[in-house]
């Protein structure tokens, strides 16, 4: 993946699009190619190329109404003498700032650097943000954990409802502060299927279990769920891990888990239930983050 600066998007996508659209607008207002070239600071050959293009520049920029309004205002100002180059530059810079604030420049930047997708990146507008960095770290942790889980392919312990892998932000308050995989991981044809990249708020049960455990044991930061089996529980006990059984019902589950976990300490640890009517038996492996939880789970199911 290339390291692309947002300024590269401005130079390579925004500027050619703006020049192309402005050339067309000025030509429609009767200016010669030579006069247009002088205004834009480009060659006459470049102006000719702009005028012969079927579509001016980058569609996501050209089709934005703000771009159209700004270009028309600059063209009108050039023709009637109410705007000079300095004022036109100010208009374009204001438009760039608007496009960098979750606008089409952000979209193009995310397309060039997929690692930015879904992060709500405001780096261009607000500068470095520790909270954003924590979000990126949590998402990266879940991606790595999923990669390891997929490689190990413990399909025998992927429940029918699917497995989710989750990491909580340091100050997580609810499920929207927990990164997990939308759609969960499922066993398909002897392998683990990963439907999509992790997002915040993508899990309900694993996230709520993780948050309940975290409320009782602050060092807990990651979790995943597996199918409960005697082999898994025996391996956990033989490894000396705290293994806690709880009732499968959903009523007051978080409160009950906090109470159960407050009586012990340490990670990793294992929570499990034996199921109930309409509820599949599930085991939760908890650790300091998702990678730790997956590594512990793989070791247990491989024992």
Give the Cβ contact number of residue 120 at 10 Å. 11
The answer, yes or no, to whether residue 262 has pLDDT greater than 90, is no
Q: Are strands 269-272 and 243-245 parallel, antiparallel or unpaired?
A: parallel
Name the token pair of 231: 């082999």
The answer, yes or no, to whether residue 266 has pLDDT greater than 80, is no
Q: H or E segment at 208?
A: helix 205-216
**pLDDT tens digits, one per residue of 180-206:** 999 999 999 899 999 999 999 999 999
The answer, yes or no, to whether residue 74 has pLDDT greater than 90, is yes
- The reported pLDDT for the residue numbered 280 is 96
Alpha-carbon distance of 23 to 34, in angstroms, equals: 11
Confidence band of 107 (pLDDT split at 50, 70, 90) = confident
**pLDDT tens digits, one per residue of 17-59:** 999 999 999 999 999 999 999 989 899 999 999 999 877 789 9
The CATH number, out of the four listed (3.40.225.10, 3.40.50.720, 3.40.640.10, 3.50.50.60), of the domain defined by the range 137-301: 3.40.225.10
Q: What is the mean pLDDT of the chain?
A: 89
The answer, yes or no, to whether residue 79 has pLDDT greater than 90, is yes
**pLDDT tens digits, one per residue of 121-165:** 555 544 555 667 788 889 999 999 999 999 998 999 999 999 999
The vertex-256 CA angle with 277 and 164, nearest 5°, equals: 65
**pLDDT tens digits, one per residue of 234-257:** 999 999 999 999 999 989 888 888
**pLDDT tens digits, one per residue of 91-100:** 999 999 888 8
**pLDDT tens digits, one per residue of 113-133:** 776 665 555 555 445 556 677
CB 19 within 8 A of CB 53: no
Alpha-carbon distance of 287 to 210, in angstroms, equals: 9
Q: Which residue ranges make up each domain of the chain?
A: 6-120, 137-301
Q: What is the 3-state secondary structure (H, E, C) of 121-143?
A: CCHHHHCCCHHHHHHHHHHHHHH
């Amino acid at each position: 993946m290339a390291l692309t600066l947002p300024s590269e998007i401005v130079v390579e996508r925004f500027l050619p699009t703006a020049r192309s659209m402005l050339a067309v607008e000025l030509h429609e207002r009767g200016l010669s190619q030579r006069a247009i070239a002088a205004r834009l600071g480009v060659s006459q050959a470049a102006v000719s190329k702009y005028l012969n293009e079927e579509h001016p520049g980058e569609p996501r920029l050209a089709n934005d109404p703000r771009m159209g309004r700004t270009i028309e205002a600059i063209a009108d100002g050039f023709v009637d003498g109410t705007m000079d180059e300095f004022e036109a530059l100010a208009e374009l810079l204001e438009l760039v700032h608007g496009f960098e604030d979750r606008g089409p420049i952000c979209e193009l930047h995310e397309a060039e650097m997929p690692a930015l997708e879904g992060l709500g990146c405001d780096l261009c507008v607000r500068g470095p943000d520790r909270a954003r960095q924590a979000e990126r770290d949590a998402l990266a942790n879940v991606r790595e954990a999923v990669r390891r889980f997929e490689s190990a392919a413990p399909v025998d312990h992927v429940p029918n409802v699917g497995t989710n892998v989750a990491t909580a932000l340091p100050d997580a308050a609810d499920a929207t502060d927990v990164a997990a995989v939308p759609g969960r991981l499922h066993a398909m044809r002897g392998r683990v299927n990963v439907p999509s990249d992790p997002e915040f708020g993508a899990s309900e049960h694993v996230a709520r279990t993780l948050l309940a455990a975290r409320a009782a044991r602050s060092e807990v930061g990651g979790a995943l769920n597996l199918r409960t089996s005697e082999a898994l529980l025996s391996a956990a006990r033989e490894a000396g891990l705290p293994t806690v059984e709880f009732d499968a019902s959903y009523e007051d589950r978080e409160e009950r888990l906090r109470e159960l976990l407050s009586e012990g300490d340490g990670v990793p640890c294992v929570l499990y239930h034996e199921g109930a009517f309409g509820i599949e038996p599930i085991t939760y492996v908890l650790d300091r983050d998702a990678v730790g939880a997956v590594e512990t789970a793989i070791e247990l199911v491989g024992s």
